[in-house]
Amino acid sequence: MGGGMFGRCDFVVVVVLVGLVGSVSGIGVNWGTQSTHPLSPSKVVKMLKDNGIQKVKLFDADPGILDALKKSGIQVMVGIPNDMLYTLANSVEAAEKWVSKNVSKHVSSGGVDIRYVAVGNEPFLSTYNRTYETTTLPALQNIQAALTKSGLSNRVKVTVPLNADVYQSSSEKPSDGGFRPDINSLMVQIVKFLNDNGAPFTVNIYPFISLYADPNFPVDYAFFNGYQPAINDNGRNYDNVFDANHDTLVWALQKNGFGNLPIIVGEIGWPTDGDRNANLQSAQRFNQGFMSRYMSGKGTPMRPSPIDAYLFSLIDEDAKSIQPGNFERHWGMFYLDGQPKYQLNLGSARGNGLVGAEGVDHLAKKWCVLKPSANLNDDQVAPSVAYACQNADCTSLGYGTSCGNLDVHGNISYAFNSYYQVNDQMDSACKFPGLSMVTDKDPSVGDCKFRIMIQTDSAVLHGKIGSLPTVLCSFVIFLCCNLLF
């Protein structure tokens, strides 16, 4: 689901992927950038190196980020957004220009170790209503042709990060797996093309979504602790959904004659907020469980070789669409300011500790809150909270979230402060009529943190906050109707 995708929102319990031919070096991470106050690329690259992260997956080809990755020793997968697929599918020249600008330039003279081009991102999600079904393969073919023409096709491989809903099983057993009937022919064409060009199959795996989508899903089956009773599939035992979903893909490939095609786990992780199952403890449990598997070199029953994977994600993104769910903004191992959320051993010399970003300056220690004297029956309360949440981030409010236990005053203050911080603590951003005030007393309560934004050169322009992805109407109604009264 990555940067702005709806991938995690296709609530298919089959969510999956992995296995790679040959040995795998260090773990990779997804670096998404849909943030109102992004860390500078140079700080993020240093953070990657400090944590021993050797591979990074990007969702576009931002020149500032690629410049920061020069001579870093970090392997890079650059991305092509879905909205570019039509142009690239219909113009070889456009594909050649894209490769020249975003790959050749950085590889030849820039010292950027680009290994993959990700053509599109989860383009076959059912939520896209077949929008990209006719353009993905032609775009893939044209980018491959452009790489070949530039002399880079042996060094840089194409791939298409796909959601696990492109395949399914008619039972709980992986051996009954196959590609989704409506796109089976297209998937076989894409797989054949990848195979012919020595390229990998990339799929995003989200056991969290299995739990999110199905209240009856066994919680422990989403983790790596040996859930029992295991599923016995012709002598192969599956005690976690990751293995089962991954091998469903392997069977789908095998049944179509491509049983040895390399597989990359494009995204795998667990969110820390925005849902009752999204919290620090579960995220640490899942990611450490996965990393322990990864570091041991253990694959899956069908693919016992080491896994090639990219954790999702590096840093929270407070401007992502929350259409799939409020958890979308909380996938990071690090908060918006680059500070680690929990202990995690990534297999580097640092051991169990994640290393945070250095030299990050925060705004002043002040918050916008509800005035103690404010009248909760004021007609301005509900629209003020709705406006704040539409134009900032209130996804930590609600049932089972980190701020789910706040009272009415706390909910309103949280909304006001979120808007205030996103707008760089401008005086005018704490002028909710007769309701708000600025305080230097931290209103945080327990695990509910009223965060202060960081100072950035590229912070949101004052007065331009309306360009942020709008919070779902239902969520605003939920806030106004349920949290306030």
Q: Which residues are known catalytic residues? A: 122, 267
Q: Which residue type sits at 152?
A: L
Q: Which residue type sits at 173?
A: K
Four-CA torsion 82, 86, 89, 93, nearest 10 degrees: -110
Q: Which residues pair with 263 in a beta bridge?
A: 201
**Spatial separation of the C-alpha atoms in residues 82 and 78, rounded to whole Å:** 13
**Spatial separation of the C-alpha atoms in residues 105 and 450, rounded to whole Å:** 43
**Spatial separation of the C-alpha atoms in residues 372 and 196, rounded to whole Å:** 68
Exposed e or buried b for every residue in 474-485, given b needs 16+ CB within 10 A? ebbebbbeebbe
Answer whether 33's CB lies under 8 Å from 39's CB.
no
Q: Which residue type sits at 121?
A: N
Answer whether 313's CB lies under 8 Å from 269's CB.
yes
CA angle 161, 164, 165 (to 5 degrees): 115
Coil, strand, or helix at residue 283?
Answer: helix
Answer whether 96's CB lies under 8 Å from 137's CB.
no
- 386 φ/ψ sector (left φ>0, alpha ψ -120 to 50, else beta): alpha
Structure tokens at 167: 């395949």
For the chain, what's the residue count?
485
Query: Environment class of residue 180 by beta-carbon count within 10 Å: exposed (0-12), middle (13-18) or buried (19+)?
Result: middle
First to last CA, the chain: 35
CA pseudo-torsion sign 484, 438, 441, 319: positive
Answer whether 82's CB lies under 8 Å from 55's CB.
no
**Spatial separation of the C-alpha atoms in residues 138 and 89, rounded to whole Å:** 5
